[in-house]
Chain A
């Protein structure tokens, strides 16, 4: 759906801005549709796609389940942090293929609804990087906790190693909300015993030159910094995961 410059009705504008790029992990205000080329490109197709693409890759996978921050909204896919992670993996000689399962605008609830699809096939590691849109819309923290825990449960049930990337709610929602929101990730990491990246946008959020004009989405330079601190946590896990045999719920089929 495109949003034309000439959308007549404010309703339409609203509707479209919501449906289209707007809440693509962005505040409705800053993220008006049609203003950005949104060149967030395709994730490599999953191996079980109806028509296997020419670049079929049989390596075990590392899935990044995320939102527009993962999808690389507003920057080139080559600059998005999952692509950078792929490069690090290749350089380190770790035979994992990164699958960018980032969908702009997705909340933790949306992530939950597609986690099964994302886990299909030989997935070894899943980086869960959700919550940005929940934060911008100040969705109830209980909801976030419930959705994320189910996502982790499903992945772990298949023997997939989960890495959780934390997100922060903006301070304008008040101290209570911000604290409760942050706490969700800590609690879950402890509860499920998964490694935690405390804040995906650590060192990037709020820094003028590392963000696009909406003040939400990182620039290419910002994405490099994200890749840096994600890599620090991910590297040992990835190395470990690739040497393990394929998990039980893997290639054989669906859980």
Chain B
């Protein structure tokens, strides 16, 4: 044993420069893993906080009926079982308020929220002037209001307003309210009172429209079980439970997408690091073959030799991993300095909230992967040691090993360990297996491509150009690095390009939802005779509204379909079809909206007295409605048989003008009773918005104005944070992925320097050798990049579709750039890493070897 240790030590001393390189390569790989995983973990924590702030709790239990004692008893029991840490009751109801001063006769519809003393469980409520919120402010009939209330009622802080039958004194103005009903719209601004005062207002009587919400804070691990339990308990009752992670609404799904993306990136970086470490290890071990032959000559046994090198690799792997963790710590500490100058907006606060440190679990994972992967990948090549003959020293023959059971078992074990490692990282065996299978497929493709490449370029080996000829010969000579580079670089390009494309796709998805010019107000129930007036009102610059379209709408029921594939004679037939039988809101117009395209048929132009209809494609597929079919509608008691002349594809994510299942050709519906809706961008500034609403409603009393700017702003704020986090992580992937590839490619230089030196001795110019290297690495890089990029297309498709649940988009730019970038990078590293050979006298290299 002592011998083994001593040998390992001596070996290390003898080739310390090469070992140092190996060591650094491992460190870079591990540093990339640890950095990214730490950042991702922190960002995810922040996402969690943000998501909690949106609903201001871990779990909401709500009902639109008064609580029954039995329901409360059940909830109390479940909360006790789940170890709830805190809870607060709230009640929300729309109501009317007016100034207590009878001289002011205005009233305003508001959304009242009565809160218990523990509110809010998460987030902070901020008041105008930076005043901190304390529950005592609401004591003695106090009320906090949104600024819109002050403007609408013409009152100021300190004055009383009447809620129900009681006067309340305005104690402050709310600027930010945690858990402000995102996902629901409101008919008025927020007003908050103490829960203890709500009964006295008399607003909560039989028939009142009120939502009672119990907000709960509890340990993370108990959240999902509690929600599931409550849903079972109240399956038949009107009590609903949801957690902050709920994906009931789009914002919840966005969080989930962002998280999925981040875990994917975390997994990818581990694999990338693993590839780098493994290819470095492999090259390192192959370099030792000659020394092994010498050792064998002087009587060393295979077992001893394997032990010597395993100890060496493992020590270096672990030491490199430790260095990697240190590097990661430094890199993470540096992130704020890079990010802060770029982003000082609100989103920047996210990064300020991120904990910049290496998390313990990430560090341990990094160490584990560094050590484990270098061990796994050194075992298989080291087993070849058993077949290294001393004669190798004399005759430079390649060792053709017969079938080797031990080696096969070792490979199987290594593969199993890799799957386990991936599954551990992905926290799912299925994903682990899937990723490894994809990885193996791509590896096989890359191998095949490598072999194909060698054959394809073989004719060039008679080329007149010296560098080209030798570059080709190098690719096909025994013991070449073609496969190693193709594999490492190809897989690297695959993951990096894939992650970048996914990032672009995800960001586009998010930006679509937070677009600045999306409508933030909605008018409903504009009557026909009011249209001209409302249009003029909206167009009047004095009112400050953005461009708006008034959309005429009618309600219609499908009562029959006659077509090649579908025959629904009567309304009963239609109803048997399920969801086709309901009231649809339909419109008529002459042009497609920006978010619509014609999938089949032709869209009309101009009015017609013959009814024609364009059907949304999804609906047409579900109910087998085709172009040429006739759909019978009941419109206000009239039967209208409309011919389907086109199928429309509607991009529902971008529906500024709403989306319609059925659009009619103008000419038939125009004279029927109808009303108008109008999504629009309201004036900026809350005072202007209040005035706008007030003036409009004063003139057109039946029109309801729905203002959801606050909701949009909240979503935009959260989404910009998510976007920034994703971008930062994406940049880190590119940077660390690049470093890993550099390490993996540069390591192959040890196979190249000896040849370069020999060529030089034989009279090749430095330039010729550099060109030769350029060709060789350039071709390899381009090819690896190409295969990787193509693979990335498949990766993005699969991930978009199955993991992120977003439509697949192809970013050609990302893929082309990926190929070009990889080729240039690999060629540059190939030349640069051999620069010492090119510059120095060849003898130096020959002697050293």
Q: Footprint of B on A, CB under 8 Å? A: 1-2, 4, 6-21, 23-24, 27-30, 37-46, 49-51, 53, 71, 99, 101, 103-105, 107-110, 112-114, 116-118, 134, 136-140, 142-143, 147, 168, 170-177, 205-206, 208, 213-215
Instruction: Known pairs A15-B522, A16-B658, A18-B185; list 12 more (Cβ under 8 Å).
Output: A9-B250, A19-B585, A29-B64, A37-B581, A39-B582, A45-B638, A103-B583, A113-B528, A113-B529, A175-B202, A206-B206, A215-B65
Asked if B677 and A113 make an inter-chain contact with CB atoms under 8 angstroms apart, the answer reads no
Cα–Cα, bound, A9→B525 (Å) = 22
Asked if B211 and A29 make an inter-chain contact with CB atoms under 8 angstroms apart, the answer reads yes
Closest 7 CB pairs of A and B: A114-B673, A8-B653, A109-B702, A143-B701, A171-B205, A42-B634, A172-B208
Given contacts A110-B525, A143-B701, contact A14 B185 (CB under 8 A): yes
Residues 650 to 687 of chain B near chain A (Cβ within 8 Å): 652-656, 658-662, 672-675, 677, 679
Asked if B184 and A168 make an inter-chain contact with CB atoms under 8 angstroms apart, the answer reads no
Q: Is B304 an interface residue (CB 8 A)?
A: no
Return B18 CB to nearest CB of chain A, in Å. 54
Q: Is B539 an interface residue (CB 8 A)?
A: no
- For B529, list chain A residues within 8 Å (CB): 113
- For A2, list chain B residues within 8 Å (CB): 579, 584, 616, 618-619, 661
Give the total number of A-B pairs whose CB atoms are below 8 A apart.
242
Asked if B94 and A173 make an inter-chain contact with CB atoms under 8 angstroms apart, the answer reads yes
- For B525, list chain A residues within 8 Å (CB): 107, 109-110
30 contacts between A and B (CB under 8 A): A1-B586, A2-B616, A2-B619, A6-B652, A7-B655, A9-B250, A9-B653, A10-B182, A10-B183, A12-B655, A14-B708, A15-B522, A16-B659, A18-B522, A21-B583, A27-B209, A30-B64, A37-B579, A37-B581, A41-B581, A42-B571, A43-B637, A45-B634, A51-B639, A113-B675, A114-B673, A172-B95, A172-B208, A176-B96, A215-B209
Select from chain B the residue with minimum beta-carbon distance to A207: B206
- For B585, list chain A residues within 8 Å (CB): 1, 19-20
Instruction: Kindly supply a per-residue 1/0 record for chain B positions 789-810, scoring 1 wherever the CB is within 8 Å of any chain A CB and 0 otherwise.
Output: 0000000000000000100000
Asked if B658 and A114 make an inter-chain contact with CB atoms under 8 angstroms apart, the answer reads no
Instruction: Kindly supply a per-residue 1/0 record for chain B positions 405-444, scoring 1 wherever the CB is within 8 Å of any chain A CB and 0 otherwise.
Output: 0000000000000000000000000000000000000000
A-binding segment of B9-17, B337-345, B384-392, B511-519: B511-519
Given contacts A29-B184, A44-B637, contact A39 B581 (CB under 8 A): yes
The one of A16, A107, A110, A171 that contacts B208, using a Cβ cutoff of 8 Å:
A171
Given contacts A170-B207, A172-B209, contact A18 B677 (CB under 8 A): yes
Asked if A39 and B94 make an inter-chain contact with CB atoms under 8 angstroms apart, the answer reads no
Select from chain A the residue with minimum beta-carbon distance to B528: A113
Q: Is B496 an interface residue (CB 8 A)?
A: no
Asked if A49 and B708 make an inter-chain contact with CB atoms under 8 angstroms apart, the answer reads no
- For A147, list chain B residues within 8 Å (CB): 702
Return A171 CB to nearest CB of chain B, in Å. 4
The one of B109, B581, B708 that contacts A11, using a Cβ cutoff of 8 Å:
B708
Asked if B702 and A8 make an inter-chain contact with CB atoms under 8 angstroms apart, the answer reads no
Asked if A49 and B638 make an inter-chain contact with CB atoms under 8 angstroms apart, the answer reads yes
Given contacts A10-B712, A21-B583, A113-B527, contact A174 B655 (CB under 8 A): no
Q: How many B residues have CB within 8 A of the partner chain?
A: 92
Return A24 CB to nearest CB of chain B, in Å. 8
Asked if B658 and A172 make an inter-chain contact with CB atoms under 8 angstroms apart, the answer reads no
Select from chain B the residue with minimum beta-carbon distance to A136: B209
Residues 675 to 705 of chain B near chain A (Cβ within 8 Å): 675, 677, 679, 701-702, 704
The one of B112, B637, B652 that contacts A99, using a Cβ cutoff of 8 Å:
B637
Given contacts A139-B702, A174-B203, contact A23 B64 (CB under 8 A): no
Select from chain B the residue with minimum beta-carbon distance to A134: B702
Return B22 CB to nearest CB of chain A, in Å. 49
The one of A12, A27, A71, A112 that contacts B653, using a Cβ cutoff of 8 Å:
A12
Residues 515 to 535 of chain B near chain A (Cβ within 8 Å): 518-520, 522, 524-525, 527-529
Instruction: Kindly supply a per-residue 1/0 record for chain B positions 548-588, scoring 1 wherever the CB is within 8 Å of any chain A CB and 0 otherwise.
Output: 00000101010100000000000100010011011111100
Question: Which of A15, A114, A143 is most buried by chain B, counting CB atoms within 10 A of its CB?
Answer: A15
- For A21, list chain B residues within 8 Å (CB): 582-583
- For B202, list chain A residues within 8 Å (CB): 171, 174-175
Asked if A46 and B658 make an inter-chain contact with CB atoms under 8 angstroms apart, the answer reads no
- For B712, list chain A residues within 8 Å (CB): 10-11
Q: Is B55 an interface residue (CB 8 A)?
A: no
Return B800 CB to nearest CB of chain A, in Å. 14
- For A45, list chain B residues within 8 Å (CB): 634, 637-639
Question: Which of A9, A17, A142, A215 is most buried by chain B, counting CB atoms within 10 A of its CB?
Answer: A9
Q: Is B715 an interface residue (CB 8 A)?
A: yes
Select from chain A the residue with minimum beta-carbon distance to B672: A117
Cα–Cα, bound, A44→B704 (Å) = 31
Asked if A40 and B583 make an inter-chain contact with CB atoms under 8 angstroms apart, the answer reads yes
Q: Is B627 an interface residue (CB 8 A)?
A: no
Return B234 CB to nearest CB of chain A, in Å. 12
Cα–Cα, bound, A174→B528 (Å) = 31
Q: Is B711 an interface residue (CB 8 A)?
A: yes
The one of B165, B183, B557 that contacts A13, using a Cβ cutoff of 8 Å:
B183
Cα–Cα, bound, A110→B525 (Å) = 7
Given contacts A8-B250, A172-B203, A173-B95, contact A50 B652 (CB under 8 A): no
